[in-house]
Amino acid sequence: MAKIQSDASVASTCATAIQSGASGITAVGAPTKDSNSDYSGNSDASTYIDGEASSSSQIAEKINEFIALIHSTVNEFEAIDQKIS
């Protein structure tokens, strides 16, 4: 029978790559709204800009939660590996 064993380095590599994506989302600076011009779409654009900023923050938060789940899953697999061996 083949040996089955978890590999924390693979999970760590994946988590690091995912974290890089989350960092890219949060690295985008806050937008600057045009409050000087008087265009018909400015108020709508302002609302959408606020919504996008909120959404990107929520996405980054969920990605970080997912990364924490990856780490906890790895820890559980390693604990099972220790019990089995």
Nearest to 77 by CA among 2, 1, 12: 12
pLDDT at 72 over 80: yes
Structure tokens at 78: 């390693």
**Number of structural domains found in the chain:** 1
Rounded to 5°, the CA angle 56-61-62 comes to: 100
Tell me if 23 is assigned to some domain. Answer: no
Tell me if 2 is assigned to some domain. Answer: no
The pTM assigned to this predicted structure is 0.70
Tell me if 12 is assigned to some domain. Answer: no
Tell me if 48 is assigned to some domain. Answer: yes
Confidence of residue 68 (pLDDT cuts 50, 70, 90): very high
Nearest to 81 by CA among 7, 1, 2: 7
Condensed to tens digits (0 to 9), the pLDDT of residues 44-54 reads 888 888 898 88
